[in-house]
Structure 1
Amino acid sequence: MAAAPPLRRGNLLPPRVLVTAWSLLVLISVLAWVLTIGQASDMGVEPGTMGMGIPLFLLLWLAMMAAMMLPSVAPVAITWARWIGRRSTGLARAARTATFIWGYLFVWTAFGLLAYGALAATGDLVRDHPDAGRWIGFTAFLLAGLQQLGPLKNVCLRHCRSPMSQLMRYAQFRPWVRDFRVGAHHGLYCTGCCWGLMIVLIPLGVMNIAAMAGVAAVIFVEKLWRRGPVFSTAVGVVFLVLAGLAPFQDWLLPGLQPSDAPMPMH
């Protein structure tokens, strides 16, 4: 199989097409935020899965991931679209870029199954033993802090910040479902980079909009700011401090406070 051409000016998309691609990703993210905020306002912050079955939870989780992750993954998606360049028609480029995004979100949706299991287990535990929430919070913040400071975080963050060499390797993939595989492969790196940030939503509340916005901001800054790795380390230290406070400060654990009030659901 012949090697794919390198990234060069002849392969790049016209500026107006790049602007359209950026605008589309921003629009998807904004719509996902609107959907997530609307649903969160009805559900409130509760421990566990909040009465949702797996299909509904995964649908909402997918919207959350699109809202939180697409702003930071947009540069990689656009870089891949640049590689596609003039090798495809406008409609084909759009379809291939969308396939990349779907592959990326597919990995995060699969991670949502693990999140559902963790939420179900912690929710049951908190309902049976309310004081357990403090130690669940301690564990979540501790794991998040250790992950932020660990070697896996550094490896995955380097890939997410500078994916060009890996994208060039992807050019050797067989054409069949190549774009989906590229998106999924990048999603695996992103999951390895950000899973610790996601588990803090257990004590903070998986439907806590302020917490989701904060996590999304951290992800965006550590991936795109030139001092992102230093910022990532600082966030890890903060999580370790929060782990020390969690057993004594219930206000840090809104997502682990049992409630007997009925929860409105659409």
Structure 2
Amino acid sequence: MRPSAKLARKINFLLMSLSLLAWVLIFFKSGDKLEIDVCRTIAPKGFDLNFINVDSIMKLGGQWWAWSLMVLAMMSPKLILPLQQLAALSLKRLRFSNCILFVLGYLSSWSLASLPLLLLSPMIQRQELSGYLSASLVLIVALIWQCSPYKQYCLNQGHQHKIIRAFGYQSGIDSYNYGLQHGIYCVGSGWLLMLFPMMVTAAHLPAMAAVTFIMFSEHLQNPRPVKWRFDLRLQLLTYLYYLVMRSLSVKLGRNI
């Protein structure tokens, strides 16, 4: 079941606007300075119990906010298709609340994933390795994961659209669970890719942009057999190429 063209355009606009707003906040927060450093993470040096204090908790809260902003910037475009499907399945009076609950469920899964990732990143950085070497090692492992059948399984599951109940609180529960389940498979497919920008201290914003491009591209692919394969997953580049060529052909046809 598909939503109307008008509803689909509204969902596209809202999610792309949300992503753009998050990118703007990351770039230009407080006087055109990048004060949200999503690459630096807070972790105790050793097992000193003095680490657990108000200051560290405040810093960890700031890191969680930066992480949430990073997820909104990078993941919002990936929610276009599932939200369109959810909106088409929902009653009109429950459509908005169901979509909000779906997004909350999706963010819940990434919030849970932030805990091990925010701890894993400084553990790798504290090793006696240069920043570029540690980032390169993470990138190599991420590329291996990109080719693995486990990655393809998570991507395939992300294409499964759940049927929700139509009425009452059951509809909201199903919407939240749908978002949570969708987020879990997104985490499973992209957790190593999300770790890579956190390791790049000098160019983390370009790294974020590159990872966003790859993750959105792989979401555009149809489900495939679960097996090892080498795939750059640049479907978005192909889509943009055909979109530009089609626009050019239409303009040339009008001129002729």
TM norm structure 1: 0.68
Query: Relative to 1, partners in 2 of residues 1:178 and 1:225: Cα closer, same or farther, differing over 3 Å?
Result: closer
Query: Which deviates further from its counterpart, 94-103 or 172-181?
Result: 172-181
Query: By how many angstroms is 1:56 displaced?
Result: 0.6
Asked if residue 56 in structure 1 is aligned to residue 62 in structure 2, the reply is yes
- The aligned runs of 1:109-258 (5 Å cut-off) are 109-123=111-125, 125=126, 129=128, 131=129, 133=131, 136-160=134-158, 162-164=159-161, 167-168=162-163, 171=165, 174-175=170-171, 177-205=173-201, 208-225=204-221, 233-235=230-232
Partner residue of 1:263? none
Distance 2:5 2:104 in 1: 24
Specify which of 83, 86, 101 is matched with residue 89 of structure 2: 83
Partner residue of 2:6? 16
Query: By how many angstroms is 1:82 displaced?
Result: 1.0
Q: Which runs of 5+ in 1 are unaligned?
A: 1-6, 237-266
Query: Relative to 1, partners in 2 of residues 1:45 and 1:187: Cα closer, same or farther, differing over 3 Å?
Result: closer
Q: Identity rate of aligned residues, in percent?
A: 23
Partner residue of 1:102? 104
Q: Secondary structure at the match of 2:41?
A: coil
Query: By how many angstroms is 1:174 displaced?
Result: 4.4
What residue identity is the alignment partner of 2:59? G
What residue identity is the alignment partner of 1:64? M
CA displacement 1:103-135 (0-9 Å, x = unmatched): 111111221122211233234x15xx4x35455
Q: Secondary structure at the match of 1:233?
A: coil
CA displacement 1:31-74 (0-9 Å, x = unmatched): 11111222594348796427982111111111111110111221
Distance 1:47 1:20 in 2: 33
Partner residue of 1:246? none
Q: Which runs of 5+ in 2 are unaligned?
A: 43-55, 234-256
Partner residue of 1:256? none
Contact 2:131–2:201 (CA under 8 A) maintained in structure 1 = no
Contact 1:45–1:206 (CA under 8 A) maintained in structure 2 = no
Query: By how many angstroms is 1:154 displaced?
Result: 0.8
TM norm structure 2: 0.71
Distance 1:64 1:23 in 2: 19
Higher relative contact order (CA 8 A, sep 6+): 1
Contact 1:44–1:207 (CA under 8 A) maintained in structure 2 = no
Query: By how many angstroms is 1:235 displaced?
Result: 3.6
Partner residue of 2:248? none
Distance 1:37 1:22 in 2: 23
Query: Relative to 1, partners in 2 of residues 1:186 and 1:206: Cα closer, same or farther, differing over 3 Å?
Result: farther
What residue identity is the alignment partner of 2:67? W
Query: Relative to 1, partners in 2 of residues 1:55 and 1:49: Cα closer, same or farther, differing over 3 Å?
Result: same
